[in-house]
Structure 1
Amino acid sequence: MPQRHLVDLAATATRLADNTRLWESLVDYDPVSRYYARLAMTREHEAWLLTWVPGQGTDWHDHGGSAGAFTVVRGALTEEHAVLQGDESATVASTRELGAGAIRPFGTRHIHRVTNTSLEPAVSIHVYAPALTRMNGYVREGDRLRLVESRLAGVAW
């Protein structure tokens, strides 16, 4: 049975994105690593602002059992998605381009890699429920991903 959340993550991400007074002054770009700032933390969810200069991206990861949604508020991002297999590996499944205004909700078993492959900086807002406590990292081997690490919030990121 799918896990139910008290908050509609896509609607929350959209509402936060529309509230530019909340996040616009926080936008900053770091040429070395992605910049991020927490926008909200409640019992039901947490929200983050992330910025991406061209070429910046994540490794393959999941969200440790949290569901989420993100929306691109400036620029464009490329998401590669993988499908989890029964042996804790995953198969690379699809790639999609997400321009400004795009919303990407995902469930508790979602594995992806997000990158700014464009020539312009990008800004996105991410919402997770429950709040992130763990993220698992994967390494690509051909068209498969293998689980290689588990990172705890406050310890490894």
Structure 2
Amino acid sequence: MYVNEGTPVTAVGTRPDHLAIAGRFAAAPETWPVAPRYNPVDRWYHRLHVAHDHEVWLLTWLPGQGTEWHDHGGSAGAFHVFSGTLTEDTVALADGHAPRVSSRELGEGAGRRFGSHHVHRMTNRSPRPAVSVHVYGPALTTMTKYRVGAAGLEVLEVERAGAQW
């Protein structure tokens, strides 16, 4: 199952299909330069590949591990669940209304594209470890962390590549 957000990005001369790239990396774990590892304190991650227009990351998630609400600093992307199950929460903002949070569970083999203004959080709410492949284009330079409140999104922190990760 793949979930799309926004316009498909497979036409020649446009940005690469991030979901297809994530799927290709997930289909070939024997090519990964490292085996997935697990950190009992926080999720583990390793950059698998970098190109001029995207980068690919491998992430592991023990039960209960997750991210805060965040964006990808203007990068679009996709993720593919290699093993286990992850839950993605997204937030929709409408003028004059409280933010609306929706959740979707994505199991092994599932994936999803997202646009450059996507705000979400991901969590392993299952009893099993999970592994996922993420693609961002262009490569991540910042990630903004948020708090979701009655009035909308409040910026908590902007993390910079090479400094916080």
Query: Is this a same-fold pair by TM over 0.5?
Result: yes
Whether 1:54 aligns to 2:82 is no
For residue 6 of structure 1, what is the aligned residue in structure 2? 15
Counterparts of 1:52 and 1:143, CA distance in 2: 31
For residue 79 of structure 2, what is the aligned residue in structure 1? 70
For residue 146 of structure 2, what is the aligned residue in structure 1? 138
Structure 2 residue corresponding to 1:98, chosen from 94, 106, 120: 106
For the residue of structure 1 that corresponds to 2:99, the secondary structure is: strand
For residue 21 of structure 1, what is the aligned residue in structure 2? 30
Is 1:92–1:144's contact at 8 Å kept on the other side of the alignment?
Answer: no
Counterparts of 2:68 and 2:23, CA distance in 1: 25
- Is 145-154 or 37-46 further displaced after alignment? 145-154
Paired positions, count: 153
Superposition TM-score, scaled by structure 2 size = 0.85
Tell me the CA shift for residue 142 of structure 1: 4.5
Superposition TM-score, scaled by structure 1 size = 0.89
CA separation of 1:33 and 1:100: change in aligned 2, threshold 3 A: same
RMSD of aligned residue pairs (Cα, Å)? 2.1
| Structure 2: stretches of 5+ with no match in the other structure | 1-6
Is 1:64–1:132's contact at 8 Å kept on the other side of the alignment?
Answer: yes
Percent of paired sites with the same residue = 51
| Structure 1: stretches of 5+ with no match in the other structure | none
For residue 54 of structure 2, what is the aligned residue in structure 1? 45
Q: Which amino acid aligns with 2:131?
A: V
Structure 1 or 2: more strand by fraction: 1
Superposition pairs for residues 90-129 of structure 1, below 5 Å? Answer: 91-129=99-137
For residue 44 of structure 2, what is the aligned residue in structure 1? 35
Q: Which amino acid aligns with 1:112?
A: H
Is 2:93–2:152's contact at 8 Å kept on the other side of the alignment?
Answer: no
For the residue of structure 1 that corresponds to 2:162, the secondary structure is: coil
Counterparts of 1:91 and 1:18, CA distance in 2: 36
Tell me the CA shift for residue 25 of structure 1: 4.8
